[in-house]
Amino acid sequence: DGGITQSPKYLFRKEGQNVTLSCEQNLNHDAMYWYRQDPGQGLRLIYYSQIVNDFQKGDIAEGYSVSREKKESFPLTVTSAQKNPTAFYLCASRKQGGQPQHFGDGTRLSIL
């Protein structure tokens, strides 16, 4: 079945450490997105990519970085510069046009 796979499901970060969240899709979608979800705040866009080797900052990009070397993959790195990284992170992808975004099942990041 086609879908979006996020790993790991749970991740713990130590102070000063960078961590990378994986997002892989086999839907042949062009665009991919990373969101951060905090209780009561809805989803906030971190980064997005419309095509391979190109990506743009979203509303809350500070302290995060991404790459898009392959169409299927859009990993997110949470750097030590992100002072409040504890959240639920969601990856999504979308075919161009009026199609809806499809979401993975998320990675929950916590601070040790």
Partner 1 sequence: AQSVAQPEDQVNVAEGNPLTVKCTYSVSGNPYLFWYVQYPNRGLQFLLKYITGDNLVKGSYGFEAEFNKSQTSFHLKKPSALVSDSALYFCAVRPDYGGSQGNLIFGKGTKLSVKP
Site for partner 1 contains 2 (CB under 8 A): no
Please state, in angstroms and rounded to a whole number, the distance separating the CA atoms of residues 103 and 85.
Answer: 20
- Contact between 75 and partner 1 by CB under 8 A: the answer reads no
Task: Supply the minimum distance, in Å, between the C-beta of residue 80 and partner 1.
Answer: 26
CA distance 2 to 55: 23
Q: Which residues bind partner 1 (CB under 8 A)?
A: 4, 6, 31, 33, 40-43, 45, 48, 50, 56, 58, 88, 90, 92, 94, 96, 98, 100-106, 108
